[in-house]
Chain A
């Protein structure tokens, strides 16, 4: 069974940092492009970052460019999101999601909540 499990969320103060992880299982992780998508009550779903299967291609949404860094470890079937200079508006549930040849974002992990507050 294809499974994605996020971890690393929590409460952090504005300006702080946090590193999210996504553990993949049930498929050959190194063959697939991966994404981070976040969801807030106010702004809904927002794609924030993409990384190609070999890490050669990386893209970010303008809202996180320069503050967030996506990376992956194919040997350990893991995806990461290093978040720095966090803002209150970064408060959201963060999901990792796989791309396939048919579609992006299939499947999604269960999400991890990041709360940025003083």
Chain B
């Protein structure tokens, strides 16, 4: 059971906008920033969003993150077939004194 809660799946057709949520608590998302990781099939996770809404160099601006209170969300606009992957949110947890993850959302491009 993951500390952060994500819906197990999301889907959309090419070009659509897809969003996914990440729910936490006052000990993690409520007081710390959120990172998002993308895991393509058969590969290691890759940093996608840090500091709630910042993109590392090389990440397309189709990906955007936001945070409100103890929840965060990731949006993919202009969905492409190569976006089919698992997406994980993460945040530092002050109670556990370490980073915690969500269970991941599998995005399917229909």
A binds B: yes
- Please measure, in the bound complex, the distance between the C-alpha atom of A105 and the C-alpha atom of B101, giving whole angstroms: 12
B37 CB contacts on chain A under 8 angstroms: 45, 105
CB nearest neighbor in B for A4: B44
Q: Is A102 an interface residue (CB 8 A)?
A: yes
Q: Which of B1, B88, B101, B104 has the most CB of A within 10 A?
A: B101
B104 CB contacts on chain A under 8 angstroms: 44-45
B101 CB contacts on chain A under 8 angstroms: 44-47
CB nearest neighbor in B for A49: B98
Cβ-defined contact, A105 with B98, below 8 A:
no
How many A residues touch the partner, as a band?
20 to 34
Q: Is B65 an interface residue (CB 8 A)?
A: no
Q: Is B31 an interface residue (CB 8 A)?
A: no
B35 CB contacts on chain A under 8 angstroms: 103-105
Q: Is A80 an interface residue (CB 8 A)?
A: no
Contacting B54 at CB < 8 Å: which of A43, A102, A107? A102
Instruction: For residue A81, give the distance in angstroms from its CB to the closest CB of chain B.
Output: 15
B46 CB contacts on chain A under 8 angstroms: 107-108
Q: How many A-B residue pairs have CB under 8 A?
A: 58
- Please measure, in the bound complex, the distance between the C-alpha atom of A47 and the C-alpha atom of B103, giving whole angstroms: 13
Binary interface encoding of chain B residues 34-55 relative to chain A, with 1 for a CB under 8 A from any of its CBs, else 0: 0101000001111100110010
Q: Is B68 an interface residue (CB 8 A)?
A: no
Binary interface encoding of chain A residues 76-115 relative to chain B, with 1 for a CB under 8 A from any of its CBs, else 0: 0000000000000000000100000011111111110000
Instruction: For residue B29, give the distance in angstroms from its CB to the closest CB of chain A.
Output: 15
Instruction: For residue B89, give the distance in angstroms from its CB to the closest CB of chain A.
Output: 10
9 smallest beta-carbon distances between A and B, as pairs: A103-B50, A106-B47, A108-B44, A45-B101, A47-B99, A44-B103, A47-B98, A44-B2, A108-B45
B: residues with CB less than 8 A from A are 1-2, 35, 37, 43-47, 50-51, 54, 56, 88, 90, 96-104
A: residues with CB less than 8 A from B are 43-47, 50, 59, 61-62, 95, 102-111
